[in-house]
Homo-oligomer: A and B are copies of this chain.
Amino acid sequence: MATDMTLIWFSGSPPCWRVMIALEEKNLQGYNQKLLDFLKGEHKSQEVLDINPRGQLPAFKHGNNILNESYAACLYLEEQFKSQGTRLIPMAAPEQALTYQRITFCLLSKNMHIHFPEGERHDSSLKRHREALTAELKLWEGYLEKLGAGSYLAGKNFTLADVVVFPCIAYVFRFGLSEKNYPRLAGYYGLLKERPSVKTSWPKNWLETPQAEDKLKDI
């Protein structure tokens, strides 16, 4: 039981979800957790600021070690619990290179953030972001096509690339991405959805309202 670990999180936040999937994959169940409400601004509380001066989630602690960024927490968990649960960074150089490459190029979430403050929104910038997201999704569709049906993002095995990228893929489908336009991504989404670590950590509010909006249906 991972009773020396604490996770403060939002439901449906891809970065928070990543850490939860990593914890499940490393058999680190039973950690302390605190679910906060983004809309109430609970992440700006003193409790969170004491751990994370940026006031962002996830905020994660293992003993006295603080990891407030999802990539950092995932890399740390893999390194500290290498031989426990799923091996998330492959040993073989080609798969390892691909895993690191796919982890750090998870630009999907960045390109999803088209929420500019009112008054700074431009048709031109919305169009630019939409085009960037489309180009990015087509790349990932191409990766999966090259790897073949039933593959994970870095090959035959589930890796940290899947931990990091899957929540972003789930996010775009939640916003109406077309399974017809992106058949490989849809297949990958279907495969991962059934994985125990993903199922267990699936955002509760997403179960209640499976489809958010359909603003990505035409890209």
Which A residues are closer than 8 A to B by beta carbons?
53-54, 62-69, 71-73, 75-76, 79-80, 89, 93-94, 96-98, 100-101, 103-105, 116-117, 119-120, 122, 124-125, 128, 139
Report the copy number of this chain in the oligomer. 2
The A interface, classified by DSSP as helix, strand, loop or mixed, is helix
Known: A120-B125, A122-B119. A72 touches B94 (CB 8 A): no
Of B71, B80, B96, the residue contacting A79 (CB under 8 A) is B96
Task: Decide: B97 and A66 in contact? CB cutoff 8 A.
Answer: yes
- Of B65, B97, B98, B128, which is within 8 A of A97 by CB? B65
Q: Is the CB of B65 within 8 A of A104?
A: no
Task: Find out whether the CB atom of A139 lies under 8 angstroms from the CB atom of B104.
Answer: no
Task: Please tell me if the beta carbons of B124 and A67 are within 8 angstroms of each other in the complex.
Answer: no
Docked pose: A68 CA to B107 CA in angstroms: 13
Given A120-B120, A120-B122; 20 other pairs, CB 8 A cutoff: A63-B93, A65-B98, A66-B101, A67-B97, A68-B101, A69-B101, A69-B104, A69-B105, A71-B100, A72-B104, A72-B105, A73-B100, A75-B100, A76-B96, A76-B97, A80-B96, A117-B125, A117-B128, A119-B122, A119-B124
CA distance A63 to B75 in the complex (A): 25
Contact of A72 with B53 at beta-carbon distance under 8 Å, contacts A64-B94, A120-B124, A122-B120 already known: no
Of chain B, the residue at the smallest CB distance from A71 is B104
Q: Are B80 and A65 in contact (CB under 8 A)?
A: no
Asked if B124 and A62 sit within 8 Å, CB to CB, the answer is no
Q: Which residues of B contact A94 (CB under 8 A)?
A: 64-65
Please determine whether B124 and A72 come into contact, CB atoms closer than 8 angstroms. Answer: no
A80 closest partner in B (C-beta): B93
Q: How far is the CB of A121 from chain B (nearest CB, A)?
A: 9
